[in-house]
Amino acid sequence: MHELSIAQEMMRLVFENAGEAKVVRIGIDIGDLTGFEPDALTFCLEALLDKTPAAGATLDVARIPGSGFCNTCARVVALARRYDACPECGGLDVDLRGGRELRLRELEVE
């Protein structure tokens, strides 16, 4: 389960940035093309944060849709998978633009 190791790293970043302050909200961006399951990551984070200054913090998970630029038809297109053909023209020369994000976006502390 890769989500556990990602959750451990996010927890490290949370406490590195929040210090001793109580964490009330954690904002996370997860791209649809990362291969990570947002529910599994949320479960792991909640379990790891229990009995810490971030216990009970609201997890604000934003999903970032997959997108790419088709060099054949010069359009930005939605992508469901990394190596999909362009849904507009069927071209295979598509550069990924979005959906690979996996980041700790923001922290709210008291």
CB 65 within 8 A of CB 74: no
Domains of the chain are 2-66+99-109 (3.30.2320.50)
In the numeric block, the tokens 């790293």 are attached to: 9
pLDDT tens, 27-57?
A: 999 999 999 999 999 999 999 999 999 999 9
DSSP string, 34-54: S---HHHHHHHHHHHHTTSTT
Predicted TM-score (pTM) above 0.75: yes
Cα-based distances in Å from 40 to 44, 46, 54, 90: 6, 10, 18, 33
